[in-house]
Amino acid sequence: MLLEKMAHNWHLRSQVSQVKKKVAYESSSEMAFNPNREDFRLDLLPFKDHPDFLAAPSEIRQKVLSCGWIAYNEKTIDIESKVIAPACNHILYREVPGVDDETSQLIASDTLVDEAYHIQLVVHACNITREHRQLQHLKLPSFTLVRKMTQEKERYSEPWKKLLVQMATAIVSEVFVSDYLSLLAYDKEIQPLNQLTVYTHLRDEKAHHSIFLELAKCMYANFSLEQQMFFSQILPKPVRWFADAELDVWGAMLQQINFPNARTIIQDTATNADVDLLRIDYSDVIQLAKELGVLDSVAGADSFAQAGLCD
């Protein structure tokens, strides 16, 4: 069984086992903060082509890139701590049908160790940026993925529905996060420490991608028909939550650093699109839905169509 094999190979593939070497490498002069290197990629800014952004002085545009790196990290912390970790805890407590066995518990506990290390890793990188760019007091509002997941859970009184919303969001997040991280993991133009931080994280998340796809198959096969129908309706929603441009977060950051015409930039960007499905690859979610049989049901096909993921 794939899950059993992955559980027993954790010590070989996990980046946690490389922590001492990584910390030493991060402390080397080669990894030292370079004030002349950008902290983030320009093309990842949702307003990168806005004329007011392009007209601003280069110093404050550089600070926007630093804000982007901080937001990128804090969104990672949100995903790990508020989406993935609770899902793993549900598995540890044998609360999820189909993944209530010893192998699934081992997988969940291994994943929790990975995620704790990832949080430590990105907190470290984020704090270095805050210190060097004088952004210690930057405060970010909640991110869309967690906020929407929480709102969705609050719609239901039944504990099992709340549980499946959490699990669906975790599965979609782990399917997406590898592509999300790949955008920076191989970029040699940004801060070396930033690039290494994301690359290290990505190594584990590639394994998590496969793990959560397998967990989803085990879960769905053991759901009741009512649970399968509900899960089918929920599964596409986190795709749109993940694709959100986080304009509330960007608006808060731009105002805090006194970026010129911040309100206009955010309003104009929101008019164009605050959810851009074209910037993410959700083909693996579609493939998972096909393998589960979600798209064979009317409820499943309708839910994916309403989310704009299928015709």
d(CA 146, CA 148): 6
174-209 confidence digits (pLDDT tens): 888 777 778 888 898 999 889 988 888 887 777 778
55-81 confidence digits (pLDDT tens): 999 999 999 999 999 999 999 999 999
- In this structure, the number of other CB atoms found within 10 A of the CB of residue 73 comes to 24
Give the ranges where the chain is alpha helix by DSSP (H). Answer: 2-8, 10-13, 19-26, 51-55, 58-78, 85-92, 102-132, 144-154, 159-185, 192-222, 225-234, 237-243, 247-256, 262-272, 283-292, 298-306
pTM beyond cutoff 0.85: yes
In this prediction, residue 278 carries a pLDDT of: 63
147-162 confidence digits (pLDDT tens): 999 999 999 999 999 9
Residues 6+ apart with CB under 8 A from 19: 117
In this prediction, residue 12 carries a pLDDT of: 45
Q: Which two tokens stand for residue 28?
A: 């080397």
d(CA 70, CA 251): 14
Residue 265 reports pLDDT greater than 90: yes
Residue 36 reports pLDDT greater than 90: no
d(CA 288, CA 238): 14
- Torsion angle of alpha carbons 212, 215, 217, 221, nearest 10°? -160
Task: Provide the phi-psi class of 246: left if phi over 0, else alpha when psi is between -120 and 50, else beta.
Answer: left
Q: Please compute the mean of the pLDDT values over residues 240-255 and round it to a whole number.
A: 95
